[in-house]
């Protein structure tokens, strides 16, 4: 599958996933930077690009931060199938893959089942490879596991005729400015660039520049870099490990930000 039909009067789009698709850490200007603030993110931005070329776009975003692939299949997939959209984006499995002892083969089996159900509705489906974490010292050890999962994602895309958004090859995401303070979610600029890239993959006419070089910046001294590492470990890494050990999730009790197909305004 390549491109999306923009010649129709109404196009419906549903996004499935976790925090990546919910839009953390790209808050709307009026939402504030709070744990329950409304985030924009690449999927909202993609819907906006679609709305620039289709008379009416109806958009639902069912993604909720922290969700594992089993939860996405249980809670989001049936709703997406019920809505029968023209376009679906699904990025799932990342939270599973980064957990200790995760088996990318098993995660991929669940992912394939979800994609098969979505394609059976007649929807065009976009899937995503995982990021290349080789540039992140703390996440570098996960690189092989993510690469294995990516091969499964590509195979699933081939079998079900899906479009692939290849995050692994997006070298511009190797810059720290593409990431928020927690080093796990994209920054506002990272989301903006990814929204452009997915729109481009779908054949939309959008402004160029998602892969533009980052502006030069002065090198950071060793002391400042270590202070940032310590702050990150204290404010993000330790709480994240705590949630993993206790079986809690950052998305517990949260509902999707756009649970219904509604015209984009």
Q: What is the pLDDT of residue 32?
A: 54
Query: Residue 37, class by beta-carbon neighbours within 10 Å (0-12 exposed, 13-18 middle, 19+ buried)?
Result: middle
Q: Over 90: is that where the pLDDT of 154 sits? A: yes
Nearest to 154 by CA among 209, 199, 111: 111
Average pLDDT over residues 37-45: 91
Higher pLDDT, residue 159 or 217: 159
The CB density around residue 80, as the number of other CB atoms within 10 Å, is 22
Q: What is the pLDDT of residue 247?
A: 63
Contact yes or no for 57/43 (Cβ under 8 A): no
Distance of CA 239 to the CA centre of its chain: 22
pTM for the full predicted model: 0.90
Q: Over 50: is that where the pLDDT of 36 sits? A: no
Per-position b or e across 49-61, b if 16+ CB within 10 A of its CB: bbbebbeebbbbb
Nearest to 177 by CA among 193, 165, 166, 161: 193
What is the tens place of the pLDDT at every residue in 48-95? 999 999 999 999 999 999 999 999 999 999 999 999 999 999 999 999
Q: Over 50: is that where the pLDDT of 26 sits? A: yes
Coil/strand/helix, residue 116: helix
Distance in angstroms (rounded) separating the CA atoms of residues 104 and 118: 21
Coil/strand/helix, residue 114: helix
Axis crossing angle, helix 188-201 with helix 41-51, rounded to the nearest 10: 50
Q: What is the pLDDT of residue 253?
A: 78
């Amino acid at each position: 599958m390549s491109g999306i039909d923009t010649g129709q009067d109404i196009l419906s789009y549903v996004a499935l996933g976790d925090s990546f698709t919910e839009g953390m850490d790209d808050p709307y200007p009026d939402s504030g930077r709070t744990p329950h603030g409304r985030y924009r993110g690449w999927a909202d931005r993609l819907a906006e690009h679609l709305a620039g070329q289709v008379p009416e776009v109806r958009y639902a975003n069912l993604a909720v931060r922290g969700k594992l692939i089993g939860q996405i299949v249980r809670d989001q997939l049936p709703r997406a199938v019920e809505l029968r959209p023209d376009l679906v984006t699904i990025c799932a499995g990342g939270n599973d893959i980064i957990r200790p002892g995760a088996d990318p083969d098993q995660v991929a089996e669940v992912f394939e089942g979800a994609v098969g159900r979505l394609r059976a509705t007649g929807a065009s489906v976009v899937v995503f490879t995982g990021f290349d974490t080789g540039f992140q010292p703390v996440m570098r050890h996960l690189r092989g596991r993510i690469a294995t999962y990516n091969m499964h994602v590509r195979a699933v895309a081939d079998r079900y005729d899906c479009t692939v958004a290849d995050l692994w090859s997006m070298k511009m995401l190797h810059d720290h400015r593409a990431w928020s303070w927690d080093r796990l979610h994209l920054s506002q600029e990272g989301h903006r660039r990814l929204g452009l890239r997915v729109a481009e993959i779908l054949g939309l006419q959008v402004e160029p520049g998602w892969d533009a070089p980052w502006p030069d910046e002065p090198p950071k001294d060793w002391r400042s870099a270590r202070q940032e590492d310590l702050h990150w470990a204290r404010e993000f890494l330790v709480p994240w490990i705590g949630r993993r050990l206790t079986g809690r999730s950052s998305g517990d009790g949260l509902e999707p930000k756009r649970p219904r197909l509604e015209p984009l305004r």
